[in-house]
Amino acid sequence: MSERRTVGVGLVGLGTIGTGVAKVIQQNAAVIEQRLGVPLRLVRIADLDLETDRGVDLSGIRFDSDTPGLISDPEVDIVIELVGGYDFARDLILKAIDAGKHVVTANKALLALHGKQIFDAALKRGVDVAFEASVGGGIPILRSLREGFAANRILSLHGIMNGTTNYVLTEMEKTGELFDVVLKRAQDLGYAEADPTFDVDGIDAAHKLTLLAAMAYGAAITFEEIPTEGIRALTPFDFEAADEFGYRIKLLGIAKGHGRDAERIEARVHPTLVSKGSLLANVDGAMNAVAVTGDAVGRTLSYGAGAGEMPTASAVVGDLIELAREVLRESSGRVAPLSYLPEELVPKPIVPLDELYGRAYLRFTMLDRPGVFGHIASVLGENEIGIESVIQKGRGGSFDSVPVLMQTYPSKESALRSALEIIDGLEDVTAPTVHIRVEEDL
């Protein structure tokens, strides 16, 4: 870093995050230079919308719709992709790599689907692709996995990785309102998209877990392989019962290694009962947190804002600074993007849910008739599912459906599923039983 120069940045996509990136680069220019040694200069921005005022000073920055021109601009050393989506984003990233530019992206969906193609191209071309902002917003969890915990075999990873769902869960718990009501409010407040599918069905969390599982276990899995359940089925009953049983409900992405070298891995996304006293249970609203347990380091937790203009921009500009160091040293490939060298990333079987063993929370919906609960209890017993505690709510008119809320003793999920299949076929059981897994030891 002896000869001083400037590192030039080209930004594609001036939406919320892109605007935050421009702000951070400008507002924190002094402190960034004090750490990096040279100025980080936002040279040009490409976006289709050249009209909207984003409340950021663009003087001295070339701003147009010319993405190819941005990529080929010799003053641009690093290209930031913040357009989202698949085809255009992939194309632009591959072209930037081809032009010898380092790339920063926050696009987890793209990386979960096409990461291999992108990382292979970067390695071949001798440039880096950084993506800290794609998981956990401003939390430097990817750096921690790749470098801070690099000496560890990772035993488990539990993440609250979607701010929208965590906001909805926190509100449902606090207000006792229905999912649809809270979701609508979250949409009105801008915490949830008009189409909330990616968030509330767990797909976004599964995208992120795909990346984390690769980094933790060297597991080349696709996100379609990850058993994924969202939060739409939850009702106020579930939050009340969880509370009485000593838990809170969080949508977790979970990965665990099976076998000494993680020959198989667990990877799953679902609502989960987490002990009230745990740190993870106390991560509220739109905040994110990832708990990583390593064989040497033991338990850790990294907590912060999982989304939003400025926190995400913090991660993007952190990546820019890291890549600027590579630009200055005219080098790349210091750390493998997915922590394991590309040749060590191998497909690993995902442990089937049937093999899981643990406590479960069950919500039965049944007619309020004598003998129905007894019948359910016998089916559970025949399948060796022990009942730890039961709550019955709203016993009212004698032929109405009522919820019965239950916590089981630890049991094998295959046995539980067999039992639930029979129970859900009973005449007096009027809706499919809701089953939420409990994670102990968090």
Residues at the site binding a copy of itself, with contacts judged by CB under 8 A: 1, 20, 24, 27-28, 30-32, 34-37, 132, 138-140, 143-144, 146-153, 218, 261, 277, 279, 282-283, 289, 294-305, 308, 310-311, 313-318, 320-322, 325, 329, 331, 333-336, 339-341, 344
Q: Return the CA Rg of the chain.
A: 24
Residue pair 112/269 in contact by the 8 Å Cβ criterion: no
Candidates 151, 206, 203; CA nearest to 339 is 151
- Terminal Cα-to-Cα distance of the chain (whole angstroms): 44
Which of residues 13 and 294 has its CB atom nearest to a copy of itself in the complex?
294
Which of residues 91 and 261 has its CB atom nearest to a copy of itself in the complex?
261
Smallest gap from residue 417 Cβ to a copy of itself (A): 34
**DSSP-assigned states of every residue in 54-85:** -SS--TTSEEES-HHHHHH-TT--EEEE---S
3-state helix, strand, coil in the chain (%, to 5): 40, 25, 35
Buried b (16+ CB within 10 A) or exposed e, 304-330: bbbbbbbbbbbbbbbbbebbbbbbbee
Residue pair 228/251 in contact by the 8 Å Cβ criterion: no
Is 101 annotated in the active site?
no
Owner of token pair 């591959």: 94
Pick the catalytic residue: 23, 101, 108, 208? 208
Candidates 250, 197, 198, 203; CA nearest to 227 is 203
Smallest gap from residue 435 Cβ to a copy of itself (A): 29
Residue 86, SS3 per DSSP:
coil
Which of residues 173 and 428 has its CB atom nearest to a copy of itself in the complex?
173
Which of residues 329 and 395 has its CB atom nearest to a copy of itself in the complex?
329
Angle of helix 309-329 relative to helix 29-36, nearest 10 degrees?
A: 30
Smallest gap from residue 163 Cβ to a copy of itself (A): 12
Smallest gap from residue 149 Cβ to a copy of itself (A): 7
Which of residues 36 and 387 has its CB atom nearest to a copy of itself in the complex?
36
Smallest gap from residue 144 Cβ to a copy of itself (A): 5
Smallest gap from residue 283 Cβ to a copy of itself (A): 8
Residue pair 125/103 in contact by the 8 Å Cβ criterion: no
- Alpha-carbon 364 to chain mean position: 30
Which of residues 310 and 426 has its CB atom nearest to a copy of itself in the complex?
310
Residues labelled catalytic: 208
